[in-house]
């Protein structure tokens, strides 16, 4: 039973057979959820109907540079397709600049749209922590604090280490250690370059609430 682990397939060239593979893996190994790109969400929701496995999808992924209005629309569409969890790539510039108002404003627009569509949807925000940690002493701590506060005060539920698509890196012990003191009630999710359940479970054992495997 892997109640804290999700399995994902987010590469742009994903094939139907690969989607079926991760859904089968999730069912056989009792993973908590499956995360796929929006184009696959409705199909995976149909495949997992009644299983108790959560369906996750991405918004503004992986760069986070879509306008907040478009992220809100994408969230609403995916929730209607059956998503239980949405993973929103934050716009990084406000985080790098420690601009709390701008960071919160974007996420608030997404959260309002998502909650209006389905009140109990879980909203997790990808902050590319390895990039923020590269800002240097003082600046990195402040950037992560701003990110966590923006996620929390916008009404979102979780904070995600990384997309795995930024050159700064993916999930790491350093990212978890930097985020955890600032999380204050947010779910902390290790994501980005986690290739198997053993590594994912190690992140959970190190303090993550959940971890996301990306085997393909």
Write the pLDDT tens digit of every residue in 117-173. Answer: 999 999 999 999 999 999 998 999 999 999 999 999 999 999 999 999 999 999 999
User: For position 137, what pLDDT does the model report?
Assistant: 86
- CA angle (44, 49, 55) in 5-degree steps: 45
Dump the DSSP string for the chain.
-EEEEEEEE--TT--HHHHHHHHHHHHHHTEEEEEE-HHHHHHHHHHTTTS--EEEEEESTTT--S-HHHHHHHHHHHHHTT-SEEEEEPPHHHHHTT-HHHHHHHHHHHHHHHHHH-TT-EEEEE--HHHHHTT-TTHHHHHHHHHHHHHHHTT--EEES--S-STT-S--HHHHHHHHHHHTTSEEEE-SS--SHHHHHHHHHTT-SEEEE---
130 and 96 Cβ atoms separated by less than 8 Å = no
211 and 171 Cβ atoms separated by less than 8 Å = yes
Residues written for the chain:
216
Each as own residue / partner, the long-range contacts of residues 66-71 (CB below 8 Å, 24 or more positions apart, any chain) are 68/105, 68/106, 68/109, 68/110, 69/109, 71/106, 71/109, 71/110
**Closest Cα to residue 12, out of 32, 34, 37?**
37
pLDDT of the chain, 216 residues: tens digit per residue? 578 999 999 999 999 999 999 999 999 999 999 999 999 999 999 999 999 999 999 999 999 999 999 999 999 999 999 999 999 999 999 999 999 999 999 999 999 999 999 999 999 999 999 999 999 989 999 999 999 999 999 999 999 999 999 999 999 999 999 999 999 999 999 999 999 999 999 999 999 999 999 987
User: For position 3, what pLDDT does the model report?
Assistant: 85
**Closest Cα to residue 84, out of 44, 126, 49, 56?**
56
As a whole number of angstroms, the distance between CA 33 and CA 35 comes to 7
């Amino acid at each position: 039973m892997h109640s804290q682990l999700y399995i994902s397939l987010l590469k742009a060239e994903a094939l139907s057979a690969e989607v079926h593979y991760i859904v089968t893996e999730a069912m056989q190994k009792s993973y908590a959820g499956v995360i796929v790109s929006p184009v696959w969400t409705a199909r995976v929701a149909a495949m997992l109907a009644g299983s108790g496995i959560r369906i996750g999808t991405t918004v503004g992924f992986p760069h986070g540079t879509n306008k907040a209005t478009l992220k809100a629309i994408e969230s609403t569409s995916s929730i209607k397709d059956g998503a239980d969890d949405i993973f929103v790539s934050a716009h990084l510039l406000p985080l790098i600049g420690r601009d709390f108002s701008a960071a919160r404003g974007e996420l608030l627009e997404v959260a309002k749209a998502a909650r209006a569509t389905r009140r109990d949807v879980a909203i997790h925000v990808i902050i590319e922590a390895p990039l923020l940690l590269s800002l240097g002493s003082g600046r990195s701590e402040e950037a992560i604090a701003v990110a966590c506060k923006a996620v929390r005060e916008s009404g979102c539920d979780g904070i995600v280490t990384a997309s795995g698509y930024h050159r700064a890196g993916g999930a790491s012990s350093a990212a978890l250690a930097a985020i955890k003191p600032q999380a204050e009630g947010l779910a902390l999710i290790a994501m980005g370059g986690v290739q198997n359940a053993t590594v994912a479970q190690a992140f959970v054992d190190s303090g993550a609430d959940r971890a996301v495997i990306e085997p393909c």
